[in-house]
Amino acid sequence: MRKHEVLLMGRIRDMMKAETDRLFHTYTVHALHRSEDPDALVEKVKDRITAITTNGVLGASGEFMARFPNLKAVICFGAGIDNVDLEYAKQQCIQVSNTRGVLNDDVANLAVALLLGISREVVEADKYVRRGDWIRKGKMGLQKSIRGRQVGILGLGGIGRDFAKKLEVFGCQLAYHNRCENKNIPYRYYSNLTEMARDSEYLVVICPATSETRNLVDSEVIDALGPDGTLINIARGSIVDEEALVEALQDGRLGAFASDVFAHEPHVPEALLEMQNVILAPHIGSATVDTRTAMGELMLKNLERFFAGEPLETPVRL
Ligand code: 8YV
């Protein structure tokens, strides 16, 4: 039987080998990154392509999708689909899927790790021992407990809810800001983000990156969080105004910052590298063998269902 043809936007580095092999084994994959002349490749296969596979970074622009007159699906590896032109997909009735759900647990765990790590100064403590400061200077200074402190969650979707559930056992006061209140959720709702930041000691960013959330955490929100406040970002760098953030940390207007994501990855503002009240991670939220395997399997499942003419497993609502 002839294999279905799939266009692969580029190397999906985060996909595990077993699922990558299965993708290439099951389909005739036209991989742009393996072609010496990607443009010529697109011209050659454009009429036959009904499905594109991609990830959050590579995405799929409207202009690119428009080159495939029979395109019906964009199948993504990853939950974030900020670089896929969803407006164009909607207009053209192109289905889009992502791999949400299977990564919630590990991403939420990393958010907990950053919260505990920054409040208990775990990275600094490690450096303290390695530098010989324990011997030279004696005991390190005291840190902060998170018990009883308000943690404001920006974006109470799947990952946000998992994160909040995990935090319940630490005895934190939980609050959230979404576009709408969810009456079934027991945490305090704020319709105004700045107000939530003012009342919270920790502000944790877990919302999707869209044109509406771009620089949502701006200097006003950062100032409301204040010198005793900590900002944690596990979502996307674009949601935080990075320049305003660096300035606030430099001026002591923000207490601390822990993040897995940045505006211009893999580049991180120089100034942050020297700061002690900062923890930096290289976008590893979903980076466990288990989760990356599950994401690959889910991506393949979506492809399989698309070619079988069945509803996608995890369609994105357009
Ligand atoms: C990475 C993520 O994008 O799923 C997401 O939105 O941020 C991560 O899982 C992953 O590296 C996918 O390539």
Q: What is the tens place of the pLDDT at every residue in 191-208?
A: 999 999 999 999 999 999
Residue of 99, 106, 234, 283 to mutate, ligand 1, most atoms within 8 A of C-beta: 283
Identify the pLDDT of residue 196.
98
For residue 79, how far is its CA from the centre of ligand 1 (angstroms)? Answer: 6
- Eight-class DSSP state of 60: B
Kindly report the protein residue whose alpha carbon is nearest to atom 7 of ligand 1: 80
Question: Considering Cα of 301, then 306, then 311, then 314, what sign does the dihedral take?
Answer: positive
- CATH number of the domain at 5-102+290-307, please? 3.40.50.720
Distance from chain centroid for Cα 65: 24
Angle in degrees, CA 108, 110, 111, rounded to 5? 65
H helix runs in the chain, sequence order: 17-26, 38-45, 62-65, 86-91, 104-119, 122-130, 133-137, 158-168, 193-199, 219-225, 242-250, 270-273, 289-307
pLDDT digits (tens, 9 = 90+) for 277-291: 999 999 999 999 999
Considering the segment(s) 104-280 as one domain, its CATH architecture is 3-Layer(aba) Sandwich (3.40)
For residue 145, how far is its CA from the centre of ligand 1 (angstroms)? Answer: 31
- The structure tokens 């007159």 sit at 69
pLDDT digits (tens, 9 = 90+) for 95-134: 999 999 999 999 999 999 999 999 999 999 999 999 999 9
- Which residues have a catalytic role annotated? 236, 265, 283
Kindly report the protein residue whose alpha carbon is nearest to atom 11 of ligand 1: 14
Identify the pLDDT of residue 1.
80
Residues whose CB falls within 8 Å of the CB of residue 1, separated by 6 or more in sequence, listed in order:
none
pLDDT digits (tens, 9 = 90+) for 218-247: 999 999 999 999 999 999 999 999 999 999
Tokens coding 68: 């495939």
Is 96 within 8 Å of 316 (Cβ atoms)? yes
pLDDT digits (tens, 9 = 90+) for 1-53: 899 999 999 999 899 999 999 999 999 999 999 999 999 999 999 999 999 99
Across residues 286-315, what is the average pLDDT?
98
Between CA 230 and CA 218 the distance in angstroms is 14
Across residues 211-221, what is the average pLDDT?
97
Between CA 295 and CA 301 the distance in angstroms is 10
In CATH terms, are 5-102+290-307 and 104-280 the same topology? yes
Between CA 124 and CA 121 the distance in angstroms is 5
pLDDT digits (tens, 9 = 90+) for 130-147: 999 999 999 999 999 999
Is 303 within 8 Å of 53 (Cβ atoms)? yes
Between CA 110 and CA 206 the distance in angstroms is 12
Between CA 13 and CA 4 the distance in angstroms is 23
Identify the pLDDT of residue 237.
98
Q: Is 171 left (phi over 0), alpha (psi -120 to 50) or beta?
A: left
Closest CA to 174 of 186, 184, 191: 186
Between CA 238 and CA 267 the distance in angstroms is 13
pLDDT digits (tens, 9 = 90+) for 41-100: 999 999 999 999 999 889 999 999 999 999 999 999 999 999 999 999 999 999 999 999
Q: What is the pTM of this model?
A: 0.96
For residue 286, how far is its CA from the centre of ligand 1 (angstroms)? Answer: 6
Domain ranges of the chain: 5-102+290-307, 104-280
Greatest alpha-carbon span in the chain: 72
